[in-house]
Chain A
Amino acid sequence: MALGYHIKHNVILYLYLRFSNQLRTYTYNSVSISNENKRIRNLTNQEDAIINSCVEDLSTVAPYFPKSFNLAAYTNGSETLQKLIKLNVDLSKIEKKPHVAEKLLQLDINSNMNGHILFLSDFVKMENMGIFITKNPMIFYQNIDDLKVRVNYLMSKRFSDEQIKYIIWKNPFWLMFSTVRIDRRLGYFQEKFKLTGEEIRNLASKKPSLITYNLKHVLCNLFIIKEEMGFQDHEMKHLIMNKPKLWMINDKALLQRFDYIHNVMNISHARILKEPEILLCRNFRIKQRHLFLQNRGRAQYDPLKENFIPLKALFEGTDTEFCKKYAKCNATDFNDFLKTL
């Protein structure tokens, strides 16, 4: 059984014990009488009083929610959290950010959340709602009118309905950005890459998270792709339209990958532009397949010569497929080779 699970239950148990202890001390302190005899007599009276039947309805009397390390402790007592679980919201992920979890606890499903969920259901499918809320529970603190304005902004910029749906569902943080910020960012990308209106719409709907991504990181990768890798402006435009993710990945890994592909494997810029997926594949995968092909004398990537191996062989498919289709050998040969690296 998971250790984490045990800890969580022990917390609840501990809180319960502490609470029951407090009750006992409270009854004891209420007997504040100087005379010892009187105190003992009163104590027995007090205990009698506890044993005597009570005719009042006490079901509404409940203790406060005690402090807890996680949201799971509150789920049984809170209808809101139960509803969220039924929506597939992962509370254990939300509680990783304590300030967000605290905010979530202050909400009520009927008064604060229903409107938002109803509004979002126009754009996000109900089965994906849980993923959406898990990623961005703070959406409930946004004013619904603001959200409507932000959607209207997208409509005014002539995004199609499909595109708007995709943007909102793929990037739960999009609606958190004010129209001014989104407008500025769209303008920034349009200007940086010299995109037309149609192209920026396609980019935003292909990778909505790029628009709201950390601009410092985007700028850093822009520098690497332009200056260190040496892609031209029009080539960069081609790259961002096909693989916008390149501007979001780790800069060091990107450069290392390019260095291996371009300088060790001698693949030209033009070839990389045709199959930019190769820049998104982890380096060790390309490396081990390339070394294996080299070992077999098959590392020939020039399409004009015979026995040509397409670049996609290096990153696509499983190792078995790769061995069968391109390296023309058994998967065990490849595994044996990997054990000599």
Chain B
Amino acid sequence: MVYFRDAATAFKSLNGLLCVYKPACVSIKQVQKTIKTNLCRDLNALPDRPLEQRVEIVGPTNEPMEVKLVPNYADHPLACGPRYINEDFRCSWGIHLGLFTSGVLLLGINDGTRLTYQLNTARITRAYKIHGQLGKATDTYFWNGRTMERTTFGHVTREKIDSVVAHMQAAHQKTMFELSGLHMESETMYELATQGPIRPANNKLPVIYGIKCVYFDPPNFTLEIQSVNEYEKYLWTLVHDLGVQLKTSAHCTGVQCIRQGKFNVDLALLRKHWQLEHIAVNMDRCREILEENEGLVRPKSAKLNL
């Protein structure tokens, strides 16, 4: 645990990356606001600097005047407001998670905002657990939508789901090479392809590197996906497409991000731990991870960062 002597040193140390666990149905904006508010609350509770003094020259001007040092009331926290307010913090997210997605969320605080931008452009891989349910299709592809159709799913077996999922993964291999920005039949492309999976050059198309069914208990199933450039709605449609290819229907019941680059769920701070001490410890651990993995922020090659 970190103990801070006063608020000013604590505020200066709050620069860097933070890894939090975003609950589902809470937007990123709200997470940012809660964290900022909690930080301000904890900083304002720490020992404050002494009140500023001000020089006053008083007395009649035609006689020797008196110079006094008096406390400056304009500096009093009751007059000029709390020392730290939400607007003092800059906060940005690394990879956007939708409203209904829960899981690992990387936030940059103050100078860490630069890091989140670099992480975003480095296109780090994300791993998701996607929970789905067979037998029902909805208009939004998610549980909150209107039911569009109901089907039987007795014929779906673990083998069938595995083969469809393997097929989906293979189909994405091509997109991966297309998004590298090189000519498909060139020597450079060949050399790049021999190194293993490659990062996309831009963020236009979602790329899936691995997809696997980790839990199957009809009608419920869970997929584990490693991908880049994906977004919430895209993951929902994956489940829907899976349902169609299995000759039944399916909708998504939950999306959970379990890993972003080297930052996994174990590191993430739960909502009840969004407090100054925990945040400071978490920032240190994130900094260590970034130092251990230099390629994470500014990668030198087109090879994929796992």
A-side residues, CB < 8 A to B, are 1-5, 8-9, 12, 54-59, 70-73, 75-76, 81-82, 85, 88-92, 284, 319, 335, 338-341
Contacts and interface: CB of A to CB of B under 8 A. Distances in A.
A284 B58 contact: no
B74 A338 contact: no
Given A2-B85, A339-B265, A76 B54 contact: yes
Nearest to A60: B60
State the majority secondary structure of interface residues on A.
Answer: helix
Interface residues of B, number: 36
Interface string B261-276: 0000110101110000
B72 A56 contact: no
A207 B256 CA distance: 42
B79 A81 contact: yes
Nearest to A68: B74
B256 A319 contact: no
A319 B62 CA distance: 71
A76 B85 contact: no
Contact of A57 (B61, B78, B268, B272): B61
Interface string B60-103: 11110000000011111111111111011000000000000010
A54 B85 contact: no
18 contacts: A2-B84, A2-B85, A4-B81, A4-B87, A5-B83, A56-B61, A56-B62, A72-B73, A72-B75, A72-B79, A75-B74, A81-B73, A81-B79, A90-B78, A92-B78, A339-B265, A339-B270, A341-B23
Given A8-B74, A59-B59, A284 B82 contact: no
Nearest to A84: B78
Given A2-B84, A3-B85, A341-B102, A88 B78 contact: yes
Contacts of A89: 78
Contacts of A54: 61-62
A85 B79 contact: yes
Nearest to A9: B74
Nearest to B11: A1
A59 B60 contact: yes
Q: Which of A4, A55, A82, A89 has the most CB of B within 10 A?
A: A4
Contacts of A12: 74
Nearest to B44: A2
Given A70-B80, A91-B79, A339 B62 contact: no
Given A76-B73, A76-B74, A339-B265, A92 B61 contact: no
B268 A339 contact: yes
A272 B182 CA distance: 65
Contact of A4 (B8, B61, B88): B88
B21 interface: yes
A92 B75 CA distance: 11
B213 interface: no
B189 interface: no
Contacts of A82: 73
A241 to B, nearest CB: 32
Given A55-B62, A92-B81, 12 more contacts: A1-B83, A3-B85, A5-B80, A5-B81, A9-B74, A12-B74, A57-B62, A71-B79, A91-B79, A92-B78, A340-B256, A341-B23
B83 A75 contact: no
Nearest to A319: B272
A82 B78 CA distance: 10
B110 to A, nearest CB: 11
Interchain residue pairs A-B with the least CB separation, the first 6: A92-B81, A75-B73, A72-B80, A72-B79, A57-B60, A58-B61
A340 to B, nearest CB: 7
B223 interface: no
Contacts of B8: 1
A341 B24 contact: yes
A284 B270 contact: no
Contacts of B21: 338-339
A57 B75 CA distance: 30
Contacts of A5: 75, 80-81, 83
A338 B270 contact: yes
Interface string B237-250: 00000000000000
B23 to A, nearest CB: 7
Interface in B260-303: 265-266, 268, 270-272
A90 B54 CA distance: 21
Contacts of A335: 270
A188 B256 CA distance: 50
Given A4-B80, A75-B76, A88-B78, A59 B268 contact: no
Contact of B58 (A1, A3, A59): A59
B74 A72 contact: yes
Contacts of A57: 60-63
Nearest to A73: B74
B7 to A, nearest CB: 9
Nearest to A91: B79
Contacts of B11: 1
Given A2-B85, A340-B256, A85 B61 contact: no
